[in-house]
Amino acid sequence: MSRTPRVFVHAPLANGQQLRLEGEAAAHLGRVLRVRVGAPVTLFDGSGVEFESEVLAATRRTVELAVGARREVNRESALALVLMQGICRHERMDWVVRKATELGVTAIRPVITERSVVKLDPGRIPARIEHWRAIAISACEQSGRNVLPDILPPLPVLGALGAHADATGVLLDPEARGGPDSLAAPAGTLCLLVGPEGGLDAQERAAALAAGYTGVRLGPRILRTETAALTGVTLLQARFGDLG
């Protein structure tokens, strides 16, 4: 089944506009998908709506489009869910960002932990955020989301807890007593804190519990951090969001 390609545009879109794409988006449409004049392309700018468009000209480097009708299509979950992910190895972190975006998280907060194997060089943090944002954009193009999740700046555990102090917190913790069924529906935003490969240390865990986070155990096995994150997001979306 061929699907109309979806492309994120980094500037506000409007019906009647003519648009020239360059760079990766144009290369994907022109070189990989080999779109022809007249082909439909769906565009979105992150504002929550999408636009029909039609190819006016395409080369291997540039694609020109006529922007058409605006469509109100809401594919966002009713659950405001922030994934607070202990920073893990690059390929795992990338996978978590992609899959959590597909599953409809509102925001991802990378969390710097004592046991994180990956130590982010402060000078490279803006580039890392851009890298994760590009992955989230690609996941939105693929999954049909018209709103990008916020990729928030990395913070240490205490800072992250403080930054989301108004939210209801859930800590994925292999030592917790209760499972996901023990959770009550959140009144507002829900934050899901997941440890990195080596888990959270005792102080970080105690800080989360002191901040009111409910520990939740996902069965008797120790899951890899990325499995735990995606399982947690899936269960929360199924109970309080739009899965199922």
Q: How far is the CB of 221 from ligand SAM (least distance, A)?
A: 6
Q: Which of 240, 4, 13 is nearest to 105 (CA)?
A: 240
* Residue 50 or 204 with smaller CB distance to ligand SAM: 204
User: Does residue 206 interact with ligand SAM by CB under 6 A?
Assistant: no
Site string for ligand SAM, 186-205 (x = CB under 6 A): --------xx-x-xx-----
Q: How far is the CB of 86 from ligand SAM (least distance, A)?
A: 7
Strands 49-58 and 107-112 come out as unpaired
Q: Which of 173, 204, 207, 211 binds ligand SAM (CB under 6 A)?
A: 173
Strand partners, 171: 193, 215
Q: Which of 225, 235, 236, 241 binds ligand SAM (CB under 6 A)?
A: 225
Both structure tokens of 203: 């102080």
* Residue 41 or 170 with smaller CB distance to ligand SAM: 170
Q: Which of 9, 103, 135, 218 binds ligand SAM (CB under 6 A)?
A: 218
Q: How far is the CB of 52 from ligand SAM (least distance, A)?
A: 42
- Footprint of ligand SAM (CB under 6 A): 172-174, 194-195, 197, 199-200, 217-219, 221-225, 228
